[in-house]
Amino acid sequence: MASVPSARADYYRRIKPLHLTPLWEELHALVPREPNSPCIPALWRYADIRPLLMESANLITAEEAVRRVLVLENPAMQGRSSITQSLYAGLQLIMPGEIAPSHRHVQSALRFIVDGRGAYTTVGGERTTMYPGDFIITPSWAWHDHGNEGIAGDSEPVVWLDGLDIPLVRFFDAGFAENDESRAQQVQRPEGNSYARFGYNMVPVRHAHASATSPIFSYPYDRSREALARLQRDEPSDPWQGWKLRYINPLTGGAPMPTMATYLQLLPAGFCGQTHRATDGAVYSVVEGRGTAEIAGQRFAFQPQDTFVVPSWAPLRLQADEEVVLFSFSDRPVQQAIGIHRETFLND
Protein backbone atom coordinates (compact mmCIF):
# COMPACT_ATOMS: atom_id res chain seq x y z
CA MET A 1 0.00 0.00 0.00
CA ALA A 2 2.87 2.37 0.74
CA SER A 3 3.68 2.26 -2.96
CA VAL A 4 0.31 3.83 -3.86
CA PRO A 5 1.06 7.40 -2.75
CA SER A 6 4.48 7.31 -4.35
CA ALA A 7 2.99 5.84 -7.53
CA ARG A 8 0.49 8.69 -7.50
CA ALA A 9 3.22 11.26 -6.85
CA ASP A 10 5.15 9.87 -9.77
CA TYR A 11 2.03 10.00 -11.93
CA TYR A 12 1.37 13.65 -10.92
CA ARG A 13 4.97 14.51 -11.90
CA ARG A 14 4.48 12.94 -15.30
CA ILE A 15 1.16 14.65 -16.14
CA LYS A 16 2.36 18.08 -14.99
CA PRO A 17 4.39 18.96 -18.14
CA LEU A 18 1.24 18.32 -20.16
CA HIS A 19 -0.61 20.91 -18.02
CA LEU A 20 -2.87 18.28 -16.50
CA THR A 21 -3.90 18.10 -12.85
CA PRO A 22 -5.86 15.41 -10.96
CA LEU A 23 -9.30 16.78 -10.07
CA TRP A 24 -9.62 14.29 -7.20
CA GLU A 25 -6.98 16.21 -5.20
CA GLU A 26 -8.92 19.51 -5.51
CA LEU A 27 -12.56 18.49 -5.71
CA HIS A 28 -13.45 19.34 -2.11
CA ALA A 29 -11.88 22.81 -2.42
CA LEU A 30 -13.42 23.50 -5.84
CA VAL A 31 -16.90 22.56 -4.71
CA PRO A 32 -17.06 23.47 -1.01
CA ARG A 33 -20.01 22.32 1.07
CA GLU A 34 -20.62 25.98 1.87
CA PRO A 35 -18.95 29.32 1.03
CA ASN A 36 -15.40 29.58 2.28
CA SER A 37 -14.47 33.18 1.51
CA PRO A 38 -10.90 34.47 1.68
CA CYS A 39 -12.47 37.83 2.58
CA ILE A 40 -12.51 38.66 6.30
CA PRO A 41 -14.68 41.05 8.32
CA ALA A 42 -13.13 44.50 8.79
CA LEU A 43 -14.02 48.03 9.82
CA TRP A 44 -12.38 51.29 8.69
CA ARG A 45 -12.76 54.14 11.19
CA TYR A 46 -13.32 57.43 9.43
CA ALA A 47 -11.71 59.27 12.37
CA ASP A 48 -8.47 57.41 11.57
CA ILE A 49 -8.72 57.84 7.82
CA ARG A 50 -9.80 61.48 7.50
CA PRO A 51 -6.46 63.04 8.57
CA LEU A 52 -4.59 60.71 6.22
CA LEU A 53 -6.93 61.51 3.35
CA MET A 54 -6.41 65.25 3.97
CA GLU A 55 -2.65 64.67 4.04
CA SER A 56 -2.87 63.08 0.58
CA ALA A 57 -4.12 66.41 -0.76
CA ASN A 58 -0.67 67.88 0.00
CA LEU A 59 1.03 65.09 -1.93
CA ILE A 60 -1.00 64.97 -5.14
CA THR A 61 -3.81 66.91 -6.79
CA ALA A 62 -7.04 65.22 -7.84
CA GLU A 63 -6.15 66.01 -11.44
CA GLU A 64 -2.72 64.38 -11.30
CA ALA A 65 -4.09 61.40 -9.39
CA VAL A 66 -7.05 61.23 -11.85
CA ARG A 67 -8.98 59.93 -8.83
CA ARG A 68 -7.46 60.64 -5.40
CA VAL A 69 -8.68 57.63 -3.47
CA LEU A 70 -7.56 55.56 -0.53
CA VAL A 71 -8.63 52.03 -1.40
CA LEU A 72 -10.31 50.02 1.37
CA GLU A 73 -8.52 46.75 0.83
CA ASN A 74 -9.68 43.62 2.57
CA PRO A 75 -6.93 42.82 5.13
CA ALA A 76 -6.85 39.18 4.01
CA MET A 77 -6.67 40.03 0.29
CA GLN A 78 -3.66 42.33 0.10
CA GLY A 79 -2.54 43.61 -3.28
CA ARG A 80 -5.90 42.96 -4.93
CA SER A 81 -7.56 46.36 -4.45
CA SER A 82 -10.70 44.51 -3.42
CA ILE A 83 -12.92 44.71 -0.36
CA THR A 84 -14.65 41.42 -1.28
CA GLN A 85 -13.92 38.96 -4.10
CA SER A 86 -16.28 40.85 -6.42
CA LEU A 87 -16.27 44.44 -5.15
CA TYR A 88 -13.95 47.40 -4.87
CA ALA A 89 -14.39 50.21 -2.32
CA GLY A 90 -12.45 53.39 -1.66
CA LEU A 91 -12.74 56.82 -0.08
CA GLN A 92 -12.30 59.61 -2.60
CA LEU A 93 -11.31 63.17 -1.72
CA ILE A 94 -11.90 66.27 -3.79
CA MET A 95 -10.67 69.60 -2.43
CA PRO A 96 -12.29 72.98 -3.16
CA GLY A 97 -11.40 74.15 -6.65
CA GLU A 98 -10.23 70.76 -7.84
CA ILE A 99 -11.33 68.73 -10.84
CA ALA A 100 -11.21 64.97 -11.40
CA PRO A 101 -10.99 64.70 -15.19
CA SER A 102 -13.63 63.15 -17.45
CA HIS A 103 -13.25 59.52 -18.42
CA ARG A 104 -15.37 56.41 -18.87
CA HIS A 105 -15.00 52.72 -18.26
CA VAL A 106 -16.95 49.52 -18.43
CA GLN A 107 -16.99 49.20 -14.63
CA SER A 108 -20.13 50.54 -12.96
CA ALA A 109 -19.61 52.86 -10.00
CA LEU A 110 -21.61 54.13 -7.08
CA ARG A 111 -20.81 57.07 -4.83
CA PHE A 112 -22.11 57.42 -1.32
CA ILE A 113 -21.36 60.87 0.08
CA VAL A 114 -19.67 60.66 3.47
CA ASP A 115 -18.35 64.14 4.31
CA GLY A 116 -18.67 67.72 3.09
CA ARG A 117 -20.79 69.72 0.69
CA GLY A 118 -20.21 71.57 -2.53
CA ALA A 119 -18.85 68.92 -4.87
CA TYR A 120 -20.59 67.81 -8.03
CA THR A 121 -20.32 64.95 -10.44
CA THR A 122 -21.28 65.15 -14.09
CA VAL A 123 -22.60 61.91 -15.54
CA GLY A 124 -23.48 61.61 -19.22
CA GLY A 125 -23.89 65.37 -19.63
CA GLU A 126 -25.91 66.05 -16.47
CA ARG A 127 -24.45 67.52 -13.33
CA THR A 128 -25.60 66.74 -9.82
CA THR A 129 -24.54 68.44 -6.60
CA MET A 130 -23.56 65.99 -3.88
CA TYR A 131 -24.79 66.14 -0.29
CA PRO A 132 -23.95 63.79 2.58
CA GLY A 133 -25.99 60.59 2.37
CA ASP A 134 -26.79 60.94 -1.34
CA PHE A 135 -26.40 57.78 -3.41
CA ILE A 136 -25.13 58.51 -6.91
CA ILE A 137 -24.61 56.21 -9.90
CA THR A 138 -22.11 56.21 -12.72
CA PRO A 139 -23.41 53.67 -15.25
CA SER A 140 -21.07 51.42 -17.20
CA TRP A 141 -19.41 53.33 -20.06
CA ALA A 142 -20.89 56.74 -19.06
CA TRP A 143 -18.56 59.75 -19.19
CA HIS A 144 -18.02 61.17 -15.73
CA ASP A 145 -16.00 63.92 -14.09
CA HIS A 146 -16.11 65.44 -10.63
CA GLY A 147 -15.39 68.88 -9.20
CA ASN A 148 -15.74 70.91 -6.04
CA GLU A 149 -16.90 74.50 -6.52
CA GLY A 150 -18.43 74.93 -3.05
CA ILE A 151 -21.95 76.11 -2.23
CA ALA A 152 -22.93 79.71 -1.47
CA GLY A 153 -19.36 80.82 -0.90
CA ASP A 154 -18.65 77.92 1.44
CA SER A 155 -15.97 75.52 0.36
CA GLU A 156 -14.86 72.37 2.11
CA PRO A 157 -13.20 69.06 1.30
CA VAL A 158 -15.69 66.49 0.07
CA VAL A 159 -15.26 62.76 0.63
CA TRP A 160 -17.35 59.93 -0.71
CA LEU A 161 -17.31 56.16 -0.67
CA ASP A 162 -16.76 54.69 -4.14
CA GLY A 163 -18.14 51.23 -4.84
CA LEU A 164 -17.20 49.60 -8.13
CA ASP A 165 -17.55 46.16 -9.70
CA ILE A 166 -13.84 46.23 -10.63
CA PRO A 167 -12.94 42.69 -9.45
CA LEU A 168 -15.98 41.29 -11.25
CA VAL A 169 -15.02 42.92 -14.55
CA ARG A 170 -11.42 41.85 -14.03
CA PHE A 171 -12.64 38.29 -13.49
CA PHE A 172 -14.28 38.38 -16.92
CA ASP A 173 -11.24 40.14 -18.47
CA ALA A 174 -13.74 42.50 -20.05
CA GLY A 175 -12.44 45.92 -19.01
CA PHE A 176 -12.21 48.89 -21.37
CA ALA A 177 -11.61 52.55 -20.48
CA GLU A 178 -10.88 55.84 -22.19
CA ASN A 179 -10.09 59.43 -21.30
CA ASP A 180 -12.28 62.26 -22.56
CA GLU A 181 -10.90 64.89 -24.92
CA SER A 182 -11.74 67.63 -22.45
CA ARG A 183 -11.07 67.70 -18.70
CA ALA A 184 -14.71 68.34 -17.90
CA GLN A 185 -17.76 67.39 -19.92
CA GLN A 186 -20.02 69.92 -21.52
CA VAL A 187 -23.20 70.01 -19.44
CA GLN A 188 -26.12 69.16 -21.74
CA ARG A 189 -29.15 69.10 -19.46
CA PRO A 190 -30.16 71.15 -16.44
CA GLU A 191 -29.46 69.75 -12.99
CA GLY A 192 -32.35 67.61 -11.77
CA ASN A 193 -33.61 66.73 -15.26
CA SER A 194 -33.24 62.95 -14.84
CA TYR A 195 -34.89 63.15 -11.46
CA ALA A 196 -37.81 65.12 -12.92
CA ARG A 197 -38.28 62.49 -15.62
CA PHE A 198 -37.85 59.33 -13.54
CA GLY A 199 -37.72 60.24 -9.85
CA TYR A 200 -41.41 60.67 -9.01
CA ASN A 201 -42.90 57.24 -9.79
CA MET A 202 -43.70 58.59 -13.24
CA VAL A 203 -41.88 58.39 -16.57
CA PRO A 204 -42.17 60.39 -19.76
CA VAL A 205 -44.85 58.75 -21.94
CA ARG A 206 -42.62 58.40 -24.97
CA HIS A 207 -39.76 56.88 -23.03
CA ALA A 208 -40.32 53.17 -23.40
CA HIS A 209 -37.09 51.28 -23.03
CA ALA A 210 -35.58 50.25 -19.73
CA SER A 211 -31.80 49.99 -19.70
CA ALA A 212 -29.66 47.89 -17.40
CA THR A 213 -28.81 50.88 -15.23
CA SER A 214 -31.30 53.21 -13.55
CA PRO A 215 -32.00 56.46 -15.43
CA ILE A 216 -31.95 58.22 -12.05
CA PHE A 217 -28.36 58.80 -11.17
CA SER A 218 -28.81 60.65 -7.89
CA TYR A 219 -30.96 59.37 -5.03
CA PRO A 220 -30.98 62.23 -2.52
CA TYR A 221 -30.65 61.32 1.15
CA ASP A 222 -33.52 63.44 2.44
CA ARG A 223 -36.08 61.47 0.37
CA SER A 224 -34.72 58.03 1.30
CA ARG A 225 -34.41 59.06 4.94
CA GLU A 226 -37.99 60.31 4.96
CA ALA A 227 -39.25 56.94 3.72
CA LEU A 228 -37.48 55.22 6.62
CA ALA A 229 -38.81 57.73 9.14
CA ARG A 230 -42.36 57.05 7.95
CA LEU A 231 -41.95 53.29 8.11
CA GLN A 232 -40.58 53.65 11.62
CA ARG A 233 -43.72 55.51 12.59
CA ASP A 234 -46.17 53.19 10.81
CA GLU A 235 -44.98 49.60 11.08
CA PRO A 236 -42.92 47.29 13.30
CA SER A 237 -39.29 46.75 12.36
CA ASP A 238 -37.88 43.51 11.03
CA PRO A 239 -36.13 41.58 13.84
CA TRP A 240 -33.04 41.04 11.67
CA GLN A 241 -32.67 44.24 9.65
CA GLY A 242 -34.78 46.98 11.21
CA TRP A 243 -36.50 48.88 8.42
CA LYS A 244 -34.53 48.17 5.27
CA LEU A 245 -35.30 49.49 1.79
CA ARG A 246 -33.56 48.72 -1.44
CA TYR A 247 -32.93 51.38 -4.05
CA ILE A 248 -34.52 50.55 -7.41
CA ASN A 249 -34.26 51.25 -11.09
CA PRO A 250 -37.74 52.78 -11.50
CA LEU A 251 -38.10 51.31 -15.00
CA THR A 252 -37.55 47.72 -13.91
CA GLY A 253 -38.04 47.53 -10.15
CA GLY A 254 -34.67 45.78 -10.05
CA ALA A 255 -31.37 46.94 -8.65
CA PRO A 256 -30.13 50.36 -9.83
CA MET A 257 -27.13 48.77 -11.52
CA PRO A 258 -26.76 45.35 -13.14
CA THR A 259 -23.89 44.40 -10.84
CA MET A 260 -24.63 46.12 -7.54
CA ALA A 261 -27.64 46.36 -5.24
CA THR A 262 -27.87 49.19 -2.72
CA TYR A 263 -29.81 49.53 0.50
CA LEU A 264 -30.65 52.00 3.24
CA GLN A 265 -31.78 50.76 6.63
CA LEU A 266 -32.85 52.22 9.94
CA LEU A 267 -32.28 50.53 13.30
CA PRO A 268 -34.18 52.01 16.23
CA ALA A 269 -32.23 53.04 19.35
CA GLY A 270 -31.69 49.94 21.47
CA PHE A 271 -32.17 47.57 18.50
CA CYS A 272 -30.70 44.15 19.20
CA GLY A 273 -30.96 42.29 15.93
CA GLN A 274 -31.10 38.58 15.27
CA THR A 275 -28.50 36.84 13.13
CA HIS A 276 -28.75 36.56 9.36
CA ARG A 277 -26.37 35.54 6.63
CA ALA A 278 -26.35 35.86 2.86
CA THR A 279 -24.13 34.74 0.02
CA ASP A 280 -23.62 38.33 -1.09
CA GLY A 281 -20.82 39.90 0.92
CA ALA A 282 -21.71 43.53 1.61
CA VAL A 283 -20.05 46.86 2.29
CA TYR A 284 -21.72 49.13 4.85
CA SER A 285 -21.33 52.87 5.32
CA VAL A 286 -22.60 54.26 8.61
CA VAL A 287 -24.70 57.37 8.09
CA GLU A 288 -26.18 58.01 11.53
CA GLY A 289 -25.72 56.68 15.03
CA ARG A 290 -23.46 54.37 16.98
CA GLY A 291 -23.82 50.65 17.30
CA THR A 292 -22.15 47.29 16.92
CA ALA A 293 -21.89 44.87 14.03
CA GLU A 294 -21.14 41.33 15.15
CA ILE A 295 -19.69 39.67 12.06
CA ALA A 296 -18.79 35.96 12.21
CA GLY A 297 -18.52 36.31 16.00
CA GLN A 298 -16.26 39.38 15.87
CA ARG A 299 -17.64 42.61 17.31
CA PHE A 300 -17.06 45.93 15.54
CA ALA A 301 -18.21 49.14 17.24
CA PHE A 302 -19.19 51.65 14.58
CA GLN A 303 -19.98 55.35 14.40
CA PRO A 304 -21.05 57.69 11.61
CA GLN A 305 -18.85 57.74 8.47
CA ASP A 306 -17.20 54.40 9.29
CA THR A 307 -17.15 51.64 6.65
CA PHE A 308 -17.30 47.92 7.36
CA VAL A 309 -17.38 44.76 5.27
CA VAL A 310 -19.41 41.60 5.86
CA PRO A 311 -17.99 38.65 3.90
CA SER A 312 -20.17 36.23 1.99
CA TRP A 313 -22.10 33.90 4.29
CA ALA A 314 -20.68 35.48 7.48
CA PRO A 315 -23.34 35.59 10.20
CA LEU A 316 -24.25 39.21 10.91
CA ARG A 317 -25.95 40.65 13.97
CA LEU A 318 -26.59 44.38 14.22
CA GLN A 319 -27.08 46.34 17.41
CA ALA A 320 -27.86 50.03 17.78
CA ASP A 321 -26.98 52.13 20.83
CA GLU A 322 -28.65 55.11 19.19
CA GLU A 323 -30.92 55.37 16.16
CA VAL A 324 -28.73 54.06 13.35
CA VAL A 325 -28.91 54.50 9.58
CA LEU A 326 -26.77 52.26 7.37
CA PHE A 327 -26.16 52.38 3.63
CA SER A 328 -24.92 49.16 2.06
CA PHE A 329 -24.13 47.60 -1.30
CA SER A 330 -23.43 44.10 -2.59
CA ASP A 331 -23.23 41.99 -5.75
CA ARG A 332 -26.67 40.45 -5.12
CA PRO A 333 -28.11 41.19 -8.62
CA VAL A 334 -25.33 39.15 -10.23
CA GLN A 335 -25.92 36.21 -7.90
CA GLN A 336 -29.66 36.42 -8.55
CA ALA A 337 -29.11 36.57 -12.31
CA ILE A 338 -27.25 33.27 -12.18
CA GLY A 339 -29.66 31.78 -9.65
CA ILE A 340 -27.25 31.15 -6.78
CA HIS A 341 -28.20 33.74 -4.18
CA ARG A 342 -29.03 32.37 -0.72
CA GLU A 343 -30.05 34.12 2.46
CA THR A 344 -31.12 32.75 5.83
CA PHE A 345 -32.59 34.41 8.88
CA LEU A 346 -31.70 32.61 12.09
CA ASN A 347 -33.61 32.66 15.34
CA ASP A 348 -31.09 33.23 18.13
Choose among 179, 188, 267, 274: nearest CA to 228: 267
Q: How far is the CB of 77 from ligand 1HN (least distance, A)?
A: 16
Q: What is the dihedral of CA 123, 129, 133, 136, to 10 degrees?
A: -10
Q: Count the site residues for ligand 1HN by CB under 6 A.
A: 10
Return the number of the residue (219 or 271) whose C-beta is nearest ligand 1HN.
Answer: 219
Q: Under the criterion CB under 6 A, does residue 317 sit at the interface with ligand 1HN?
A: no
Distance CA 39, CA 27 (A): 21
Q: Under the criterion CB under 6 A, does residue 89 sit at the interface with ligand 1HN?
A: no
Q: Which residue among 158, 166, 287, 325 contacts ligand 1HN (CB under 6 A)?
A: 166
Total Cβ atoms within 10 A of residue 117: 17
Q: Which residue among 43, 53, 72, 109 contacts ligand 1HN (CB under 6 A)?
A: 109
Return the number of the residue (170 or 246) whose C-beta is nearest ligand 1HN.
Answer: 170
Distance CA 85, CA 88 (A): 8
> Phi and psi dihedrals of 30, rounded to 5?
-70, -35
Choose among 347, 181, 197: nearest CA to 273: 347
Give the single-character DSSP code of 297.
Answer: T
Return the number of the residue (139 or 281) whose C-beta is nearest ligand 1HN.
Answer: 139
Q: How far is the CB of 67 from ligand 1HN (least distance, A)?
A: 4
Distance CA 248, CA 111 (A): 15
Q: Which residue among 35, 56, 61, 67 contacts ligand 1HN (CB under 6 A)?
A: 67
Q: How far is the CB of 192 from ligand 1HN (least distance, A)?
A: 21
Binding site for ligand 1HN (CB under 6 A): 67, 69, 90, 92, 105, 109, 144, 162, 164, 166
